[in-house]
Chain A
């Protein structure tokens, strides 16, 4: 039996977020505005999607579902970009993040739908949309962290990179340590969730399925599938983003090319 939440219950949880925002503002940690905007967005966006999800799941049009997938990927690419302290100029930043999401999330979802789940039709929205959503949500985090770490560290360690170039190292070698760091940063969240799953944390999807009456073993199998997909998706996504961005950070004569970066805008959502 599901216990229903009243608006008052939600308001109490919301008050905690407001309190956190006030605290960070008081300590001048510069995150409160972003926090409030994200909290407002989660409320509005989830309410809206809750309203349309039933009719969305009833749809059987492939074109319509691809359109939804396209919108999801673009928004995720946009969100990755807005988490960056320093971005690539022009369409490069958006192009690289969206492209990597496409490789990592879209293709893996497609693979999973057609070979593992094999629903009829394979694009059945009640599988395709949540699956893609879970993948995007997680790979997005990994890619945003890896990308931010790579660009920030390259920026801060400019003297070291240039020194290594002056010693005759290739562009690739000169940034290899920073790239390794960035890869680690991007993969830590998913490695944490895999390591903690079942002992520290009960993954939401699995728990939800069991609460809704599904057989526990089936729910667990789905959860493991999702975890593996997220891990490989995140890994692929971070790898491709790091590769593309480190290419872009150097010019054709293997020199750092920071004029391809926008000025530091402080935190996003000014």
Chain B
């Protein structure tokens, strides 16, 4: 599989087929075989944490460890918050009151802080309504264009996958199949 700049690859498959494991391997969060290159740079040739700053994984369940939202961000502009429908006030919110949808949206903003070159999105809009799903999709697209980054988007919603990209792979029993 090869992903070019600004491209999104949609990846689907039944649950348990290994999609999340595949994304974790790409982020080097899981021991794996095979070779993973980013612009010719082998994953195993740089420190794991530096690799993960370039290849960012947004897992289906995000974790938050400080008390408030703002503590998880170094600096964040009002513009990027409002792109996902938040105002600056949300930085004061306590983590305990976040819905799972809010966590997914804030999770995207959080991984974007490192300016990653690859976004690995694991069912990122599973808990979002239609409006927020649209905001999410256009922010991802805009990010890819501005940073000439690329993304792999794991999802179940075929309509959505077709909407965001013509490139589509399916995972069956741990094997990637090109289906576009």
Contact = CB atoms under 8 A, between A and B. Distances in A.
Interface stretch (A16-24, A130-138, A160-168): A160-168
Contact of B52 (A157, A160, A168, A177): A168
B108 interface: no
B102 interface: no
B56 A166 contact: yes
A255 interface: yes
A79 interface: no
Contacts of B110: 167
B61 interface: yes
Given A160-B63, A160-B65, A162-B63, A169 B49 contact: yes
Interface string B1-38: 00000000000000000000000000111110000000
A164 B52 CA distance: 10
Interface in B62-78: 62-65
Contacts of A169: 49
Interface of B: 27-31, 44, 47-50, 52-53, 56-57, 59, 61-65, 110-111, 113-114
A255 B24 CA distance: 11
A253 B30 CA distance: 9
A170 interface: yes
A157 B65 CA distance: 9
Q: Is the interface of B mostly helix, strand, loop or mixed?
A: loop
Contact of A167 (B30, B44, B50, B114): B114
Contacts, number: 54
B28 A170 contact: no
Nearest to A257: B31
Interface in A135-176: 157, 159-160, 162-171
B30 to A, nearest CB: 7
Contacts of B49: 165, 168-171, 254
Given A157-B65, A162-B63, A255-B28, 16 more contacts: A159-B63, A162-B29, A163-B62, A163-B64, A163-B65, A165-B29, A166-B56, A166-B57, A166-B59, A167-B111, A168-B50, A169-B49, A170-B47, A170-B49, A177-B65, A255-B29
Nearest to A172: B49
A163 B64 CA distance: 8
Nearest to B52: A168
A165 B52 contact: yes
B48 to A, nearest CB: 4
B123 to A, nearest CB: 15
Contact of A166 (B31, B50, B52, B64): B52
* Nearest 4 pairs of A and B residues by beta carbon: A168-B53, A163-B63, A254-B48, A253-B48
Contacts of B28: 253, 255
Contacts of B53: 168
B28 to A, nearest CB: 6
Contacts of A159: 61, 63
Interface in A161-195: 162-171, 177
The interface centre, meaning the residue of A159, A163, A165 with most chain B CB atoms within 10 A of its CB, is: A163
A189 to B, nearest CB: 27
A160 B63 CA distance: 5
The interface centre, meaning the residue of B28, B48, B50, B111 with most chain A CB atoms within 10 A of its CB, is: B48
A101 B111 CA distance: 42
Nearest to A255: B29
Contacts of B113: 167
A155 to B, nearest CB: 15
A166 B65 contact: no
A169 B63 CA distance: 14
Contacts of A163: 59, 62-65
Given A162-B63, A163-B62, A165-B52, A254 B47 contact: yes
B2 to A, nearest CB: 23
The interface centre, meaning the residue of B30, B49, B53, B63 with most chain A CB atoms within 10 A of its CB, is: B49
Contact of B27 (A166, A171, A251): A166
